[in-house]
Amino acid sequence: MHGGDVYSDENPNGRDLIDFSSNANPYGPPESIYKIQGEALEHAMKYPDIEYRLLRKEILTHHNLSNVSVVLGNGAGEIIDLAIRGIESILILSPSYSEYEESAKRYGVKTSYLEYTHYQIEEKKYQLKIDVDDFYRKFESVDAVIIAHPNNPDGSMLDFKTMNSIVEFAKENNKRIIVDETFFDYSIGKLPFTPFLEENIDLVIIKAITKFYGLPGIRFGYGLCSREETAKNIRSYQRPWNINAYAEKFAIECFKDLDYKMDANITNREERSWLVGHLLELNIIERVYMSQGNYILFKLKNMKAGEFREELIKEGILVRNCDNYKGLDEYFVRIAVKKRSENIKLLSALKK
């Protein structure tokens, strides 16, 4: 159901696999994180500020925002969950992150679905796109939409025109837009939804730092809400002190390291493009989807993803079988973009 499944009852410490199923930054956290461990431990010996004033201030500074309400979560999933809770009905695109549907189910939120169009760019190269007319027809009859930007599992993004027109539509028709930008940090140069927070609209943008900064075990994400009312509603479901001391310290530290961000982007773009090039050459692969994230979706030609995954485990590699994504059939696989040495191992295994 989720990536990162290297653990099992037989191997509770985790199997010795190269994990291409999870999307955490393979280069590990910024150097400075190692240096502030002692400080973070000191910090953990006190109760956190129940309002996390410093952290919220740093988040606003990081995004150069004001007049925006910040909500904090023990992982981005908490904010996704609570942004969906409390609405009546939601439009979910497919394929997309399965937790959106899980959250809707959990709180009895009615769901409707819109399938992405599988648009062919050139031979074997594909991209997921939204059919805008279909989108509005469906959006009209619900209270909210959730969009992953870039989308998971394929890494597609919206162009400015589409973003702007969705925002205008939501404004006129009084809808909530929830944007999951937990992988946006890999998309430097692309437009985030954050500038729209200043519009008179009910917009919630969810950000994460732990994946991008190589610290998925830290559990921290946050939401930027254009409306204080929405933020209040989200907070009303939260318990006090939901953010741990390490998350607080590490987040603030990560924000400072702009070089890390730039380097990670350059490296990821390079590796992704190298990997895509090689995947396109493989006969077992029917399609590769163009991604703005640090992961790549592809479709197999003659082998089902489940079997493919099992074969690769024998080679010491774990990939994400996407057959449980709504809107994808049993031939889809997602891999993470990792270090060159690991990417080479993956390609050798694929050639086998």
Q: Interface residues with its own copies (CB under 8 A)? A: 2-7, 9, 12-14, 19, 22, 24, 28-29, 33-34, 37-38, 41, 43-51, 53-54, 57, 74-75, 77-78, 81, 99, 106, 214-219, 236-237, 239-248
C-beta of 164 vs 244, nearer to its own copies: 244
Q: Which residue has the tokens 């989308």?
A: 151
For residue 206, what are the CA distances in angstroms to 27, 50, 218, 281? 23, 21, 17, 36
CA 136 to chain centre: 24
Q: What is the largest CA-CA distance in the chain?
A: 58
Considering the complex, what minimum distance in angstroms separates the CB of residue 201 from its own copies?
A: 27
C-alpha R_g of the chain: 20
CB of 147 to its own copies, least distance (A): 20
Based on CB atoms, which residue is closest to its own copies, 44 or 344? 44
Residue nearer to its own copies on the CB measure, 9 or 123: 9
Backbone angles phi, psi at 298, to 5 degrees: -140, 165
Q: How far is the CB of 116 from its own copies (least distance, A)?
A: 24
- Count how many residues are written for the chain: 352
* Residue 3 one-letter amino acid: G
How many other CB atoms are found less than 10 A from the CB of residue 189? 7
Q: Are 187 and 157 in contact (CB under 8 A)?
A: yes
Q: What is the nearest approach in angstroms of its own copies to the Cβ of residue 236?
A: 8
Shortest distance, position 327 Cβ to its own copies, whole Å? 21
If the CB atoms of residues 196 and 246 are measured against its own copies, the closer one turns out to be 246
User: CA-CA distances (angstroms) from residue 140 to 110, 127, 156, 238, 247?
Assistant: 14, 25, 23, 30, 39
Q: Which is nearer to its own copies, 243 or 288 (CB)?
A: 243
Task: For its own copies, give the closer residue by CB, 24 or 312.
Answer: 24
What's the closest the beta carbon of residue 307 comes to its own copies, in angstroms?
A: 23
